[in-house]
């Protein structure tokens, strides 16, 4: 299917990044949120991030201006019904996502493709509530969207081949790389990455190493650009714990049990960089390990 316009629901960290890369690739973007401040902040952020790309000579000033002119915003979700493809990137709560697809339903064109950027909710379950499970997919971008090369494409049980090929065509046009994943908890990247982080937490919990030795060991011994605990702080410890719980509940295997120390950090509100404290304390000039 020929896609020219894209509706993005949710103008948070992911929604603004998705709008940015889509507009730069030539798509008309209609960005929706329930909050006008979020829409204004998203447009300001896209402008700033594009300007950074201009200053690094990755994007020309003309291309930046053209991309900005392709982005419009609306508080009216039904307005997205006239787009060719909708990417839902609202808050990670299943009832919110169901409500969004329910509201859109009477306004959608017959061929509009629906997708969700969810990190963990079943694509098959989201699709089953819509009138078009065969034209529904997971379209999972990585954070930050303009920087990260990968997009996971997740087929629900009913997703048809033309829908998959259409989404793959968009990923190619974005000059990103697709990894196709079946619809099982946490898909590919988080299925592998988050248990590794959880294991790093167990390594710390059991006293095998301290924060610095665990991160240094994985940076120098496995050539990871960031240590697993540093990375956990970057992702957010609440997010890491939520994904472990999705794996534990969805796969019912004790190997996915969340580390009690990870739970304790989350209960303490030590969620990582966003609150300036997690496995490291970021309140000073340099991050200081908390263990």
Ligand X SMILES: NC(=O)c1ccc[n+]([C@@H]2O[C@H](COP(=O)([O-])OP(=O)(O)OC[C@H]3O[C@@H](n4cnc5c(N)ncnc54)[C@H](O)[C@@H]3O)[C@@H](O)[C@H]2O)c1
Catalytic residue among 116, 117, 120, 140: 140
Please report whether residue 90 would count as binding ligand X according to CB under 6 A: yes
- Please confirm, yes or no, whether 224 is among the known catalytic residues: no
Give the CA count within 13 Å in the CB-facing half-sphere of 238. Answer: 10
Which residue in the set 73, 112, 115, 119 belongs to the binding site for ligand X (CB under 6 A)?
Answer: 119
- Determine the distance from the C-alpha atom of residue 107 to the mean position of all C-alpha atoms in its chain, rounded to a whole number: 26
SS3 content of the chain, % helix, strand, coil (to 5): 50, 15, 35
Task: Kindly indicate which of the ranges 43-51, 85-93, 127-135, 163-171 contains the residues binding ligand X, using the contact rule CB under 6 A.
Answer: 85-93
Identify the helix (H) or strand (E) that includes residue 150. strand 150-155
Q: Report the nearest approach of ligand X to the CB of residue 71 (Å).
A: 15
Beta strands 113-116 and 85-88, pairing class: parallel
Please report whether residue 245 would count as binding ligand X according to CB under 6 A: no
Residue 43 DSSP label: H
Please report whether residue 197 would count as binding ligand X according to CB under 6 A: no
Which residue in the set 12, 169, 250, 289 belongs to the binding site for ligand X (CB under 6 A)?
Answer: 12
d(CA 153, CA 239): 21
Spatial CA neighbour of 70 closest among 100, 109, 38, 43: 43
State the CB neighbour count (10 A cutoff) for residue 252. Answer: 8
Please report whether residue 100 would count as binding ligand X according to CB under 6 A: yes
d(CA 39, CA 66): 19
- Which residues in the 125-184 window bind ligand X by CB under 6 A? 140-141, 143
- Please confirm, yes or no, whether 190 is among the known catalytic residues: yes
- Please confirm, yes or no, whether 20 is among the known catalytic residues: no
- Which residues in the 44-83 window bind ligand X by CB under 6 A? none
Q: Report the nearest approach of ligand X to the CB of residue 10 (Å).
A: 3
Tell me the catalytic residues.
119, 140, 152, 190
For binding to ligand X (CB under 6 A), which residues are involved? 9-15, 32-35, 38, 89-92, 96, 100, 117-119, 140-141, 143
Q: Which residues define the annotated binding site for NAD(+)?
A: 10-15, 33, 92, 97, 119, 143, 274
């Amino acid at each position: 299917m020929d896609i020219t316009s894209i509706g993005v629901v949710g103008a948070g960290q992911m929604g603004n990044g998705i709008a940015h890369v889509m507009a730069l690739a030539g798509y008309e973007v209609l960005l929706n949120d329930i909050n006008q401040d979020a829409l204004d902040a998203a447009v300001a952020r896209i402008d700033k991030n594009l300007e950074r790309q201009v200053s690094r000579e990755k994007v020309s000033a003309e291309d930046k201006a053209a991309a900005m002119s392709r982005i419009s915003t609306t508080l009216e979700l039904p307005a997205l019904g006239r787009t060719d493809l909708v990417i839902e990137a609202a808050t990670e709560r299943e009832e919110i996502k169901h409500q969004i697809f329910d509201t859109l339903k009477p306004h959608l064109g017959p061929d509009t493709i629906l997708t969700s950027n969810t990190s963990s909710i079943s694509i098959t379950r989201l699709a089953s509530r819509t009138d078009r499970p065969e034209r529904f997919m997971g379209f999972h971008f990585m954070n930050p969207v303009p920087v990260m090369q990968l997009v996971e494409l997740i087929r629900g049980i009913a997703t048809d081949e033309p829908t998959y090929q259409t989404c793959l065509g968009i990923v190619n046009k974005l000059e990103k790389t697709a990894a196709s994943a079946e619809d099982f908890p946490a898909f590919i990247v988080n299925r592998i990455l988050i248990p590794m982080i959880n294991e790093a937490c167990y390594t710390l919990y059991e006293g095998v190493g301290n924060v610095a030795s665990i991160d240094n060991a994985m940076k120098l011994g496995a050539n990871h650009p960031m240590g697993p605990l540093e990375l956990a702080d970057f992702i957010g410890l609440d997010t890491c714990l939520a994904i472990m719980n999705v794996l534990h509940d969805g796969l019912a295997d004790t190997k996915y049990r969340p580390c009690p120390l990870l739970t304790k950090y989350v209960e303490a509100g030590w969620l990582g960089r966003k609150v300036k404290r997690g496995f490291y304390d970021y309140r000073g000039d340099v991050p200081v390990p908390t263990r």
